[in-house]
Structure 1
Amino acid sequence: MFTILQKPVQNYWTGRAGMQAVAIVDHIMQGTLASTDEWFNNPTSQASSHFGVGKDGTIHQYVDLANSAWGNGIVDHPDMSIGWLSNAIGRGINLNRMTVSIEHEGNTGDVMPEAQYQASLYLHQYISQQLGIILDREHIIGHYQIDSVNRPNCPGTGFQWSRLMSDLQQTGIPQSNPDGEYFQETGYWIVNVLPDGTRIGFLDFFKNNGGINAFGLPKTGAYFDPALGRVVQQLEASRLEYHPENPDPYKVERGLVNDELRGV
């Protein structure tokens, strides 16, 4: 278990403009953890990430996951084969609104020390559990896949992609959810089972009660909302809530009206 040390900065946007994070973007600091702390605290830098991982395994959190850090806003010759990324670009969405950034101490080509690798592995698992991000190479990408011109070596040749993806598979968190449906238009899934194995049944409920015509396309993945104390998913016309303590566990919120749907 690793401790996440809070190092809040002012370089971020509050919230995600109605979006939900769908991807983790890995970066290399091209410097030290201390220098990155200082740079992100400089208002003139106009830069930040959500997390930084030191070579000794120290984890710093700069920006809350609910907010938008400023690490992925410049797009130049991106990898348009990535569905959610090409869709977001086509819709004019700033990618900072849909991503979580992890900076890694060191320079391009450095191979991560074991302590740093293990901390980064833990952090990917933690972020996925918090936000429901799918742990595959469509949703865990390098900065170079957003800006191949100015950041072609970020996170660089020393980043252990194959090992990371293999280890994430072995944690029991699926790379994709077989009991789910992916919506290419938005880059989000509607699922029945969360990565931790919790069955929420959102996909069955969605399909049995009108689908896209009733609910619209998903605007977020399914995630735990600490303010509500339950799993929710935001769609274009409604928000699904899962209330496992109730005999009828599904609630749909439309605007200011709560409609209970029975018999599901």
Structure 2
Amino acid sequence: MPMPVPRTAAVAAAVALIIGLAAPAHADTTSQRQRDFAAAAAEFGVPENILLGVSYLESRWDTNAGTPSTSAGYGPMHLTDLREAGAATSHHDEGTEDPRGDDARPARHPQAGPAAPPPALQTVDEAARLLHTDAGTLRTDPAQNIRGGAALLAKYHTGDWYEAVAKYSGSTGDAAQTFADEVFDTVKSGIARTTDDGQQVTLSASPDLVVPQHADRTPPGVECPRRVTCESVPAPYQELPGNDYGNHDLANRPESQRIDHIVIHDTEGYWDSVLKLAQDPTYVSWHYTIRSSDGLIAQHVPTKDVAWHAGNWYVNAKSIGIEHEGFAAKGTWYTEAMYRSSAKLVGYLARKYGIPLDRAHIIGHDNVPGTVPSTIKGMHWDPGPYWDWSHYFDLLGAPLGGFGLPGSSLVTIDPDFAKNQPVFTGCDSPGTPCAPRGSEAVVLHSEPSDSAPLLKDAGLHPDGSASTMDVSDVGSRVATGQRYAVAEVRGDWTAIWYLGQKGWFHNPRGAKVAKPAIGWVVTPKPGLATVPVYGRAYPEPEAYPANVPVQAITPLPYTLGAGQQYSSAGTVGSEYYYAVTFDLADHVVVKGKLKYVQIQFGHRIAFVKADDVRIAPAF
């Protein structure tokens, strides 16, 4: 193992090694994308493995069907063109979700206003000038896009490839160095994959590469892992007129109550605008925001405190909320830099608080249940069907799927992200088909046929109509990593129990979208025809002290029927965090004797009373 060396020497050694290893990496492949990288590297004098490493950290070498990333980047080299991508509207300002989701307080529906994109999202113009071509060609032609990225790297190079890579990120300071570190780590370890358009690309490992070493970049008081760049952008805890306050609640977690979930969100806005919202006492709150271009992490609320982010007070009180710069409705893609930074943060938090690394505890905002029947329709659905949960859990070191025996009565949803391309609508305008894109979502039908109607969701569609293919409609959709009990199998079709119905999906041999799983399932106890389902695990009335209003235990408009089974995430105690005043001394954690079981009931999680169900291992 090389001995640690000063940063300047380390970079010099790295550059020397990279140049020495710059022989074409495509000798054993006929991949056109690989040849494009080699040709561009040679043309502009950029080490091929540096070019491959930068592209991987931006796009994983994908084309993403010509759609922009969540930070307006196009193609394998993520050349940014905000002029073409445009500013997306915010689903956070639609619907009726109250981010607090607490019946003890008036609903809060703050409006974010238009998201102002930063002017820096326009590197495609500089690349076009260097190549004497137009921005449209660089957005749509992968080979020209790679040439454009190589030209930019060559321009940024002033004798130090590490610094050129850092500048390519579009950031400065520690955030730019974090991006460069990730690129150099990728070059050192090597990687190979098949892209979203079927190209085989390989970055050969450089095990002797010396990656520059840096001091811990975490400022004092910020809860972050090493090897990422974090900053503190505190959310205000502030009294407001009208006996109100914002924009979160003080607490003493985990001593006062366990933290059971981490909730993944997208911002529906650009970095600068979102950070201003996080500092607005009249707005709502979340614990962290992660930037798309370089993975920079900003912490707003200490994890011991409760942020107002998930639309369900029970979940808020027991979770950490992480926002990712991006737009779910645009059908865009998330950068590898952000995925990696997020995975490091989630892994750090999961270890710190003992949170299981599974899809029952690392959930999307779209997996958070409505609190009562009237709130279901307004619940948010980010980060959307284009968040790559499978890749994300690979980065977490907790791969999804494939751990059960054939024929198991429990399955994990695990489609091939790139090949799985359901045709959703409404990404850009209502009813308009979204661009074909890889997706983590598998659509369910009421019968084993692609032409059969989708399932009904009594909460989302109380009029009794079937669910739709609108990108925001999660009423007949399962997500990668979620586990469900098998109800029936007919040929290449599998049915699972879902919202009290059988939901069918195509699961042919050789192209499985669900893998056998191991785990526990719940079913109603003998003698019970149906079991109520809840969006919160609140205590029994007798548990509340005299000064705390009793919170209703209100069932959702679904039932779990006899003979049906649902995947169990374990038994949880009943809790309610009473926090309606600015003074922490008035806050009370109410814990009851009532026990619940968290289940995967539909696209969202839910709870049933432990006394109503029998828990058994899946076979």
- Interval of TM-score (by shorter of Structure 1 and Structure 2): 0.5 to 0.7
Deviations 1:143-169 (A, max 9, x none): 111256334530112211111123323
Question: Quick one: structure 1 residues 41 and 121, their matched pair in 2 at CA, closer, same or farther if it must change by over 3 Å?
Answer: same
| Secondary structure at the counterpart of residue 111 of structure 1 | coil
2:571 counterpart residue number: 184
2:249 counterpart residue number: 13
2:381 counterpart residue number: 153
**1:142 Cα shift?**
0.8
| Secondary structure at the counterpart of residue 156 of structure 1 | coil
Question: Which of residues 48, 54, 64 in structure 1 aligns to 2:291?
Answer: 54
Structure 2: distance between partners of 1:124 and 1:101 = 10
1:142 aligns with 2:364: yes
* Structure 1 gaps, min length 5: 76-92, 188-215, 219-264
- The 5 Å alignment of 1:241-256 reads none
| Secondary structure at the counterpart of residue 159 of structure 1 | coil
> Does the CA-based 8 Å contact 1:25-1:102 persist in structure 2?
yes
Question: Which of residues 42, 56, 64 in structure 1 aligns to 2:302?
Answer: 64
Question: Which of residues 336, 345, 348 in structure 2 aligns to 1:126?
Answer: 348
1:237 counterpart residue number: none
Structure 1: distance between partners of 2:594 and 2:268 = 39
Question: Quick one: structure 1 residues 153 and 159, their matched pair in 2 at CA, closer, same or farther if it must change by over 3 Å?
Answer: same
Question: Quick one: structure 1 residues 142 and 170, their matched pair in 2 at CA, closer, same or farther if it must change by over 3 Å?
Answer: closer
Question: Quick one: structure 1 residues 169 and 153, their matched pair in 2 at CA, closer, same or farther if it must change by over 3 Å?
Answer: same
Give the aligned residue type for 1:39.
L
* Structure 2 gaps, min length 5: 1-226, 237-246, 371-375, 400-480, 482-518, 520-568, 575-592, 596-619
**1:104 Cα shift?**
0.4
Question: Larger Cα Rg: Structure 1 or Structure 2?
Answer: 2
Deviations 1:205-264 (A, max 9, x none): xxxxxxxxxxx999xxxxxxxxxxxxxxxxxxxxxxxxxxxxxxxxxxxxxxxxxxxxxx
Deviations 1:55-85 (A, max 9, x none): 121100000111111101x24xxxxxxxxxx
Question: Quick one: structure 1 residues 158 and 29, their matched pair in 2 at CA, closer, same or farther if it must change by over 3 Å?
Answer: same
> Percent identity at matched positions?
29
> Does the CA-based 8 Å contact 1:15-1:66 persist in structure 2?
yes
Structure 1: distance between partners of 2:320 and 2:398 = 22
- The 5 Å alignment of 1:228-247 reads none
Deviations 1:164-191 (A, max 9, x none): 12332359xxx9xx9xxx850339xxxx
Give the aligned residue type for 1:13.
D
Give the aligned residue type for 1:161.
W
1:38 counterpart residue number: 276
> Does the CA-based 8 Å contact 2:263-2:322 persist in structure 1?
yes
> Which structure would you say has the larger RCO, counting Cα contacts within 8 Å and 6 or more residues apart?
1
1:251 counterpart residue number: none
1:247 counterpart residue number: none
| Secondary structure at the counterpart of residue 122 of structure 1 | helix
Structure 2: distance between partners of 1:162 and 1:105 = 19
Structure 2: distance between partners of 1:27 and 1:159 = 10
Structure 2: distance between partners of 1:162 and 1:150 = 27
> Does the CA-based 8 Å contact 1:26-1:141 persist in structure 2?
yes
> Does the CA-based 8 Å contact 2:357-2:398 persist in structure 1?
no
Structure 1: distance between partners of 2:381 and 2:303 = 25
Structure 1: distance between partners of 2:352 and 2:308 = 20
> Does the CA-based 8 Å contact 2:340-2:395 persist in structure 1?
no
**1:35 Cα shift?**
1.1
Question: Quick one: structure 1 residues 185 and 169, their matched pair in 2 at CA, closer, same or farther if it must change by over 3 Å?
Answer: same
2:14 counterpart residue number: none
Range that drifts further, 161-170 or 118-127: 161-170
> Does the CA-based 8 Å contact 1:30-1:106 persist in structure 2?
yes
Query: Alignment length, in residue pairs?
Result: 163
**1:94 Cα shift?**
2.7
1:97 counterpart residue number: 317
> Does the CA-based 8 Å contact 2:265-2:364 persist in structure 1?
yes
> Does the CA-based 8 Å contact 1:13-1:69 persist in structure 2?
yes
TM-score (structure 2 length as normaliser): 0.25
Structure 1: distance between partners of 2:366 and 2:379 = 5
**1:134 Cα shift?**
0.8
Question: Quick one: structure 1 residues 52 and 154, their matched pair in 2 at CA, closer, same or farther if it must change by over 3 Å?
Answer: same
Question: Quick one: structure 1 residues 139 and 42, their matched pair in 2 at CA, closer, same or farther if it must change by over 3 Å?
Answer: same
Structure 2: distance between partners of 1:217 and 1:44 = 35
1:114 aligns with 2:336: yes
Question: Quick one: structure 1 residues 98 and 58, their matched pair in 2 at CA, closer, same or farther if it must change by over 3 Å?
Answer: same
1:165 counterpart residue number: 393
Question: Quick one: structure 1 residues 143 and 129, their matched pair in 2 at CA, closer, same or farther if it must change by over 3 Å?
Answer: same
**1:29 Cα shift?**
0.4
| Secondary structure at the counterpart of residue 185 of structure 1 | strand
2:497 counterpart residue number: none
Structure 2: distance between partners of 1:27 and 1:16 = 23
**1:16 Cα shift?**
5.1
**1:110 Cα shift?**
2.3
| Secondary structure at the counterpart of residue 257 of structure 2 | coil
Cα RMSD, aligned residues only: 2.7
Structure 2: distance between partners of 1:184 and 1:168 = 25
Structure 1: distance between partners of 2:295 and 2:308 = 23
> Does the CA-based 8 Å contact 1:50-1:63 persist in structure 2?
yes
